[in-house]
Structure 1
């Protein structure tokens, strides 16, 4: 998780794990990140190699290519292969750009 925090700090946008506390969300753009799943490798009936799925969720009130480029540049610097998707959240009036990737657990 230390490497992930280092990555989040390098991106330079406000961030929180999973969500910001009620009423404490900063103005967009901001990031929520989480580790919803694992994809561990087993050997001899044990977890041999731990891997977590990571989601970085960028929230913006309008399409923000510069914020996306900031995230992508840092992920590219760290040699991270990611998948990217985007959706409009009508109830929040925000775009969510989701970066999904896997990261080794140390």
Structure 2
């Protein structure tokens, strides 16, 4: 799931896992993906469904609803459940952040 997620989002814009590394950040906009752990489902004393949960951080300078639609359409097309907090301005870095919380069964 993680590899497919990063590959799919990379088709939209530069995407990495965790961080770009010191001095290696791409020009805005870009995405950073984090694995936030499993949210598995158990039933009848058995491991019934494996679900991965992830945080996708979208960083940008200017609001572009078209790009947001591309990201959200990718989630929808791959049947990924998602939610979003909205935009936050990061004054020290002079950029915006939009965080998507996603879940996907495996």
Alignment TM-score, normalising by the size of structure 1: 0.83
| Contact 2:6/2:16, CA 8 A, preserved across alignment | no
Q: 1:46 to 1:93 in 2, by over 3 A?
A: farther
d(CA) in 1 for partners of 2:80 and 2:43? 25
Instruction: Tell me which residue corresponds to 1:95.
Output: 96
| Contact 1:29/1:67, CA 8 A, preserved across alignment | no
Q: Which segments of structure 1 move beyond 4 Å, counting only runs of 4 or more?
A: none
Correspondence 1:42 to 2:42: yes
Query: Aligned with 1:84: secondary structure?
Result: strand
Correspondence 1:72 to 2:72: yes
Alignment TM-score, normalising by the size of structure 2: 0.83
Instruction: Tell me which residue corresponds to 2:6.
Output: 5
Deviation for aligned residue 1:46: 5.0
d(CA) in 1 for partners of 2:102 and 2:70? 16
What is the aligned-residue RMSD (CA, Å)? 1.8
The count of residues paired between Structure 1 and Structure 2 equals 104
Between stretches 78-87 and 50-59, larger displacement belongs to: 78-87
Correspondence 1:81 to 2:86: no
Query: Aligned with 1:91: secondary structure?
Result: helix
Between stretches 74-83 and 18-27, larger displacement belongs to: 74-83
Any stretches of 5+ residues in structure 1 without a counterpart?
none
Any stretches of 5+ residues in structure 2 without a counterpart?
none
